[in-house]
Amino acid sequence: KQEVTQIPAALSVPEGENLVLNCSFTDSAIYNLQWFRQDPGKGLTSLLLIQSSQREQTSGRLNASLDKSSGRSTLYIAASQPGDSATYLCAVEETSGSRLTFGEGTQLTVNP
C-alpha cells in the first residue's frame, strides 16, 4: 500500500528566503507525482506534475524534482513571498487515471 510522507509538517520563513519542501513515497512504481497548493478554506491548485520518466519540472519560482528510485520528491520555492503562504500537498498516482495518494501536507508561512 502506497504511503506518502511530507516533511516538515509546518515551516515558517522570512520573506525572500529560498526553501525546500520534501515528499517521500514508499512504492517507487508510480505513474506521476503532482504538487498542489491549498489555501485555507479553498480547493486545490495544481502547481507541477512530474511524470515518472522525468527528473524535474519548473514553473516560475517553483522547481520540483523527482527521484523515483529513492522514492523522493522536492519542491523548491525561490525568493519566497507572503503570498506563497499556504499548505503544499504532494500526491502520487500509480497508474493513469487511478487514485492520487496524498501526503499530509506542509503548512508554509512566509513572514513579511
Contact residues: other proteins, CB under 8 A: 31-32, 34, 36, 42-46, 49, 51, 87, 89, 91, 93, 96-102, 104-105
Using alpha carbons, select from 22, 3, 24, 2 the residue that is nearest to residue 72.
24
Give the phi and the psi of residue 84 in degrees, each rounded to 5: -80, -10
Smallest distance from the beta carbon of 17 to other proteins, in angstroms? 24
Nearest residue (CB) to other proteins, 31 versus 76: 31
Nearest residue (CB) to other proteins, 50 versus 77: 50
Nearest residue (CB) to other proteins, 32 versus 85: 32
- In sequence order, what DSSP letters do the residues of 21-43 get, joined into one string? EEEEES----SEEEEEEE-TTS-
Nearest residue (CB) to other proteins, 85 versus 101: 101
Exposure class string for 20-33: b at 16+ Cβ within 10 A, else e: ebebbbeeeebebb
Smallest distance from the beta carbon of 95 to other proteins, in angstroms? 9
Using alpha carbons, select from 77, 73, 75 the residue that is nearest to residue 61.
77
